[in-house]
Amino acid sequence: MTRQHNTSAPRDEYLQRKRFFDKMLTIYGRKPVLEALEDGDIPCYRLHLAESNQAGGIIAQIMKLAEVRGVEIKFHSRQALSRISRNGKQDQGVAADLACPHHLLLEDFLANPLTDNYSLIALDGVTNPQNLGMIIRSVTASPCHGLLLPAQGIAAISPLVIKASAGTLFKSRLIHCDNLAGALKALKQQGATCCALSSDGEQTLSGFRPKTPVVYVLGNETEGVSKTVNDCCTTRLRIPMQNGVESLNVAVTAALLAFRGSC
């Protein structure tokens, strides 16, 4: 009798773990962690503290809140904590893993896109933390269905991003993908129209009336959308400028797109 091996089991287990950790957001710094613990609507999975922290003050407040909420507390060497926070110079000996229920993988969004006529905003090369935070805030407050973020070429989630998002990062719908060009191809196969915003776009935003799901792709203010990503888009849109103004801040453009047609 030939024994059959379930080759899909390791893959399923890997995806399950990946989904769990993609919903997990590690933040660092004493004040950001304290504020997250003070907000009962933000699920906190684990608190990480450096063994070298002095007792008392804000550290005592953080520990007390974690204990009241039943959050697991782990102590680490300073070096180990730096690996967890990925920013040993600024973590102040404190990090926390937060469970963000609306952060998900692209493949999970594709399997359940929420609506037949969704709109997404995708970022390509937006490395300024302030801009990323403001974009997250606008998208979270708007009818837009999510923000598509590639693993590379985007500002890392940091206290600056959290502050600029005014705390909305924790309840935002962030859709994670490994590669933006590949993600756009997958979305197009599902019927979405992918639009690159560009100052020389052949079509104006006001004249654009999509009859399909749509993904608006924004690049950074210096170089715009990269050629690789631009080649994956089927439409180029522009926002007409007046009085000699060449472009808008990327966060302002994202806000215009996120609220498009909702007012």
Burial 78-113 (b: 16+ CB within 10 A, else e): eeebbebbebbeebbbbbbbbebeebbbbeebeeeb
Strand order in the sheet with 193-197: 104-105, 174-177, 147-150, 119-124, 214-219, 193-197, 235-238, 203-204
CA distance 43 to 59: 19
> Strand, coil or helix: what is 77?
coil
Residue in the structure block whose two tokens are 């009336």: 209
Percent of the chain clearing pLDDT 70 (strictly above): 93
Assigned fold of 24-99: 60s Ribosomal Protein L30; Chain: A; (3.30.1330)
- Tens of pLDDT along 182-195? 999 999 999 999 99
In three-state secondary structure terms, 170 is helix
Q: With pLDDT > 90 as the criterion, what percentage of the chain qualifies?
A: 71
pLDDT of residue 3: 52
Span 73-120, pLDDT tens digits:
999 999 999 999 989 999 999 999 998 888 889 999 999 998 989 999
Output the pLDDT for position 222.
87
pLDDT band at 4 (very low <50, low <70, confident <90, very high): low
Mean per-residue pLDDT, 52-59 = 95
Q: Over the chain, what is the mean pLDDT?
A: 91
Each residue's pLDDT tens digit, 193-240: 999 999 889 899 999 999 999 999 999 988 899 999 999 999 999 999
Q: pLDDT tens digits, residue range 108-138?
A: 999 999 898 999 999 999 999 999 999 999 9
Model confidence at 263: pLDDT above 50: no
Tokens read off for 205? 């935003």
**What are the Cα distances from residue 69, in Å, to 23, 46, 150?**
20, 11, 33
Residue 64 burial (CB < 10 Å; 0-12/13-18/19+)?
exposed
For the chain, the structural domain boundaries read: 24-99, 104-258
Judge: domain 104-258, CATH 3.10.129.10. no
**What integer is the mean pLDDT of 140-163?**
93
Pairing mode of beta strands 235-238, 193-197: parallel
Partnered with residue 174 across adjacent β-strands are: 147
